Amino acid sequence: MRDTREAVNQLCSRLEESTKIKRNGKCKKFTNFVHNTKIAIDSWKFQDFDYGKEDVNLPVQARGFFTLNNEAIVVRGYDKFFNVGEKPFTKEKYLLEKTKGPYDVTLKENGCIIFISGLSSGDIVVCSKHSTGQREGTERNHALEGEMQLRKQLGDEGVKQLAQYLYSHNLTAIAELCDDEFEEHVLAYPRDKAGLYLHGLNYNSIKFQTLAISEVVEFAREWGFKVIDYLQIEDANELFRFLHECGKTGTYRGREIEGFVMRCKMNQDDDFFFKYKFEEPYLLYRQFREGTRQLLNGSPILSIKMKKNKFITKKYLEFAAKLFEEQPDLKERYRRGFGIIHVRQLFLEHLQETNGMNLLSLDAKLSEEMGKLSIMSMSSSSSSSPEETIKYVFVPIATIGCGKTTVFNTLSLLFPDWVHIQNDNISRKSKLKITDQTLKALEVHSVVLFDRNNSLYRERKQIFTTVAEKRKQHLDDFIDIKFIGLNFVHDISEQQLWDITFERVEKRGDNHQSIKSNKDKELATKVMQGFIDRFQPVNTEKQPDCQFDHVINLKLTKSDSSLENVEIIINDIMENFPKLIPTKPSEEVIEEMFKTSLEYKPTFFKDMTVKKPKKPLYYGIGIHYEHIIECLELIAENEEYLRLQKEKFVQDEFHITLGHVSNTKTNNKAKAKWTKLVETLGLGDTEAGKNYLSFFSNVRLLQVVINKGKLICIKCELLLTTDANKTKVDIDPINEHLHITVGCFPPTTAVDSNATLQALYKDSKELKRDGVYDLDNDTIEVRNFQAAIPLTHQQIFAFF
């Protein structure tokens, strides 16, 4: 069952090539030393959103993949598997037709994954998802904790025997580390239930090959692992009847669980996994946790985004806020990631409940009561009928030429109550921006079609933030707003995106408010390329995209896919929000409205070439988000970085500030530098926000600097700046220590990154070595990259 050295070497060559790709299949390589040895193994990791894409051909689909000397696979995780309905090949109908039993149904334990394997030397290899062994600057190391629990389970001699057994049989054992004393998740694992739950044995092979769950359970009992519950169901229809029945209670045999993992066969005899996650009460518990973190970060309860079960979540947050006032030590424990389950259980006790599903019934009751109150209130003050208690905002994620305006025009013609608001129709001088107009429209309409590209994280974040801040001026508290994401750029490469959209823009010529491909093709090309270069795809696993209540993936093809996208949206809404479209329009009516929308001619035009005599607040170098996230693998398990991630304080965008106008107020030297920057770089379009300029910089990332409890930043060096013609341009930054702020803990702000570096380098400009430096009231940790990381052709912007 071992692949040949040649086969593994060829795979590693493909993986190595994948590390050079810009995106769409880019691989991250990380070299680890096996604990207590000098043996180096390589970890290979792809971006989560690249798995399962039809147009992205990954060399291997494994999540958790380690090789030795490019000759042998030493650790092999499962091929990435998806939730029912998450991908076309996990739709229930497809699974019923294409998979075959028996179906091994296992409980989905709620911990962190641990891989265990052996080497020819007799050494044990214990890994977290992408690393093993010692990691500098890490206070919570999952791999070492897993190894410690394994040694506690088997003793040193038993661990040695396990390593020999796994090596001789070419296997990786896959377990879930569940221990609330080490790390809390959402479901409880008290001391008597804590440990390593074995749920898989994979062959260390390129092709995914795994042992049957019955053999896994036998192995677990023999080697002292915790055993996961499982059952076997022969028929697919019977399987889904079972899953849907369990989904009604969110439990199995009286125990709250996250869901199930199904193991079966597809394509003759290929091993195939898929999962079925319970929405409730697991998602409600996650919402409690995320809402509490926002509460601890200073967010008012009314501004905290609640996807569903709004009333019971609000009641929980009010309870938690009062509890933290009374027990500040509990508040501090929660900040560090402990007490999550305890606070939830105290809330259940407060309500005299023991079952989390009862919280959903209570939420429905509270919702009904609020609805009755609102009807009574409206009836007494007006003869008009009461408004719906749910409003919807449809938010596209797109670039220019994806067809969003055609789609929205068609939908607004089909459903007259759906208001279409176009950002391209709003003057730059207008005081009411698109979010203000959206809220005003929601006062009287149930749906707003928010027609803007929203291609950047910060633009999506701005929608959620502004609506939360201003909604009270327009809507009553009992009205809920749901955000529906329309993902126009899905399962498509950057080159395909450019080819399709540019061809469309060329065809429509000057029939657009701002992009005139006939009148000024050069400007149109520049604007479109800027959008595509900066595009940040939807990722519902992180902020701000996790705030979408629902995301619909659309199609983008060379033939006009807009009519098909209208159908996709209507069908999806009817399935997931049936009250919004009770009856589907006929095919004839949909096609007629679509043809009418194609005749649309804009009556408002923006001058994209206008320059105003306004000066920017600062100049910066935009840094691609993916570059920084990849570099931060260096501190992937550092406690400060993990806390930044958990508390959602990692920045949505990254940049290097070259100079800020505020620097010029008291410093004549800085004032002269600022004047020179403005003269050299110009002003761009002077639109609010970032205006990208025709200048590009090569920079080098030197080290990560962690000011504990305050911030994390990356010290940088400017190498070269050129204009659009690749001619060298001399610029003199105002900031003495160029840096990228990764994130800050309030009340610290990004400006404090500069102060941190000034304090660190006040005595010497020589690059600091790895280590911890105590400076005044700050503890600063420095982590140098193994080799300075060059980033080329990063675009400069002016911010107004």
Residues taking part in catalysis: 108
- List beta partners, residue 791: 699
Within 8 A by CB and 6+ apart from 762, the residues are none
Q: Are 670 and 664 in contact (CB under 8 A)?
A: yes
Note the residue count of the chain.
800
**Amino acid occupying residue 797:** F
DSSP characters for 740-777? EEEEE-TT--TTHHHHHHHHHTSS--SPPPSEEEEETT
Q: At what angle do helices 282-296 and 310-326 cross, to 10 degrees?
A: 50
- For residue 509, the SS3 value is coil
DSSP characters for 335-370? HTT-SHHHHHHHHHHHTT---THHHHHHHHHHHHHH
Q: At what angle do helices 521-534 and 494-508 cross, to 10 degrees?
A: 150
30 closest CA partner among 676, 696, 786: 786
HSE of 535, CA atoms in CB hemisphere, 13 A: 28
Cα torsion angle, 128, 132, 135, 141, sign: positive
Give the span between the Cα atoms of 623 and 629, in whole angstroms: 11
**Host H or E run for residue 104:** strand 99-107
Q: Are 445 and 388 in contact (CB under 8 A)?
A: no
Give the span between the Cα atoms of 790 and 247, in whole angstroms: 50
Give the span between the Cα atoms of 395 and 384, in whole angstroms: 29
Give the span between the Cα atoms of 595 and 604, in whole angstroms: 21
Q: Are strands 270-277 and 654-660 parallel, antiparallel or unpaired?
A: unpaired
- The values of phi and psi at residue 780, to 5°, are -115, 125
Rounded-to-5 percentages of helix, strand, coil across the chain: 40, 25, 35
Give the span between the Cα atoms of 172 and 126, in whole angstroms: 10
